[in-house]
Chains A and B, each alone.
Chain A
């Protein structure tokens, strides 16, 4: 599933920099960040907290302006929220005063168009939320809330899906479940997905390519191609290849690019640490 030479860039971030004005002076959040995501590609951006991942995603979504650099979608510059971009936020971000149906109708209300009920029903069925329309967010578990948020983001059929640490607040088992669901949905719809996470194992499991960021200022340090065949099962998370890849990415984030891979002996502790990564 690595991008082929024939595929065209869907979304291009070109030398993006962002400074925030704070009371203690300008804060350099993003420095000269460039990346190019192919049409239908699943890209993950990984980095430590505070490395500007969310700043990057909000800029791609057109929620933020950049201090310098550009974001282009299908060759058109993105300077404000774009109808072809859907967003899934941290901790679902459902409106607590609206029931599920009304939460999912929100994008349509704002755009002033009638909700695409057939499409919504199909998505609800896909994520297993049929019949929960009149439930309020507080009545749903974290996983169900995030499923609803995914339906909301896909309801108006955008071609790009931006996901900002969507499963960070979920427990390990729910998280695995959600990752499988996201891969399935991606395989069915072939949306271009940019997925932000600080969980390296999650990134490796989901993506075609992993973009590794470093902090202060936020910048791209390395890109990894993830070669594993699709659909992937959670079993690959315990394989040697994934373990080495996760460690390599981890070393990259911790600024020790030459760190040796763990020696071959002692399978058990290694497997444990992989599971730890996979789980959270």
Chain B
């Protein structure tokens, strides 16, 4: 895989071919671009073909063997349900998003600030490390029944659970980033008279950025998991609640429609952070 990629690449630095052989660089690049376009068209065709085979094949097999709907509904039924029932599912999606965004905003902010502060004091970091590790490794879902007992069946316990799940993930990754010390770069800023705060903003934060973005992505995905899980434990709304209700009432097409919405959410989170990473941490790749 690696070899093939290397074989495809012209060993230049980006599109910068500074010296006099600019014309060669341009033709080479356009040729490369052309082949890349052709390849991506082929790839798209392959992706569509595989998807069609999986969906169509599944449909055919489930109908041919007359598999009952409560075991596995055919794709057509799931897609129909997604369209027909979307109006009913949408408010629940809204509830889940409210919990996810509020909990994540709280958890991620606290995680980021803690990471930035703690890494400046190695001694404090050593003392606090076991608790952070505990927060990371304990499934926060386990606390949901207790939270419901204390805060009722509304948004509150779920938002707390999401914050507790995403915050530590953001924190440990961001802390790893902030711990990367490049003495030469700090000396550079210092040689221009930079203050500790300027060094933090202009050197440490950008250097930590790739790890911060990874942490934010993992935190968001853990937040989504925990939001849905908390909804399944108790309360009368949210996508997780729909999952328990639909499975209890054996409404399998609706059940899988919700699953489809959840995977779309997860993929959107991934893509969003992929793009953010490309923009803000692209320098590292």
The reply to whether A93 and B16 form a contact with Cβ atoms under 8 Å apart is no
Among B16, B191, B198, B284, which residue has its beta carbon within 8 angstroms of that of A87? B191
Judged by a CB distance under 8 angstroms, whether B64 is at the interface is no
B194 part of interface (Cβ distance < 8 Å): yes
**B residues in contact with A85, CB < 8 Å:** 191
How long is the Cα–Cα vector from A140 to B185 in the complex, in angstroms? 18
Question: Do residues A111 and B185 form an inter-chain contact, with CB atoms below 8 A?
Answer: no
B188 at the interface (CB under 8 A from A): yes
CB-CB < 8 A to A63: which residues of B?
Answer: 187, 190-191
Tell me, yes or no, whether B184 is within 8 Å of chain A by CB. Answer: yes
Residues of A within 8 A of B16 (CB): 132, 135, 139-140
Q: Contact partner of A89 among B184, B192, B207, CB < 8 A?
A: B184
CA distance A136 to B237 in the complex (A): 50
Query: In whole Å, how far is B92's beta carbon from the nearest beta carbon of chain A?
Result: 41
Known: A138-B13, A139-B14, A140-B13. A93 touches B192 (CB 8 A): no
Q: With A135-B14, A144-B18 given, is the CB distance from A107 to B192 under 8 Å?
A: yes
Given contacts A97-B209, A132-B18, contact A110 B187 (CB under 8 A): no
Chain B residues contacting A86 (CB-CB under 8 Å) are 191
Residues of A within 8 A of B185 (CB): 93, 95
B206 proximal to A (CB < 8 A): yes
Q: Which of chain A's residues has its CB closest to B193's CB?
A: A81
Q: Is the CB of B188 within 8 A of A93?
A: yes
Per the bound structure, the CA–CA distance linking A60 and B136 in Å amounts to: 46
Q: Residue B88 at the A interface, CB < 8 A? A: no
A275 CB-CB contact with B under 8 Å: no
The residues in B between 263 and 285 inclusive whose CB is less than 8 angstroms from any CB of A are 281, 283-284
Cβ 8 A contact of A106, one of B13, B192, B209: B192
Residues of chain A with a CB closer than 8 A to B193's CB: 80-81, 83, 110-111
Whether a CB of chain A sits under 8 angstroms from the CB of B39 is no
Contacts of B14 in A (CB 8 A): 135-136, 138-139
A81 is contacted by which of B192, B202, B209, B281 (Cβ under 8 Å)?
A: B192
Q: How far is the CA of A245 from the CA of B190 in the complex (A)?
A: 37
Contact with A along B205-236 (1 / 0, CB 8 A): 01101000000000000000000000000000
Contact of A139 among B13, B189, B190 (CB under 8 A): B13
Q: How far is the CB of B123 from chain A (nearest CB, A)?
A: 16
A window 87-116: CB within 8 A of B: 87, 89-91, 93, 95-97, 106-107, 109-111
Residues of A within 8 A of B187 (CB): 58, 63, 87, 89
- Report the minimum CB–CB distance from A162 to chain B (whole Å): 8
Complex Cα distance, B118 from A2, in Å, reads 54
Given A58-B187, A110-B198, A132-B18: A97 in contact with B192 (beta carbons within 8 A):
no
Beta-carbon contact of B283 and A81 below 8 Å = no
A71 interfacial contact with B, CB 8 Å: no
Distance from A187 Cβ to chain B, minimum over Cβ atoms (Å): 25
Interface pairs (9), CB distance under 8 Å: A61-B191, A81-B190, A81-B191, A87-B188, A89-B184, A90-B184, A106-B189, A110-B192, A111-B192
* Closest A-B pairs by Cβ, 5 of them: A107-B192, A139-B14, A97-B283, A139-B13, A110-B192
19 more contacts with CB within 8 A, not counting A85-B191, A87-B188, A111-B193, are A58-B187, A63-B190, A63-B191, A83-B193, A95-B185, A96-B284, A97-B206, A106-B192, A110-B189, A110-B193, A132-B16, A132-B18, A136-B14, A136-B283, A138-B14, A139-B13, A139-B16, A140-B16, A144-B18
Which residues of A line the B interface, CB within 8 A? 58, 61, 63, 80-81, 83, 85-87, 89-91, 93, 95-97, 106-107, 109-111, 132, 135-136, 138-141, 144, 156
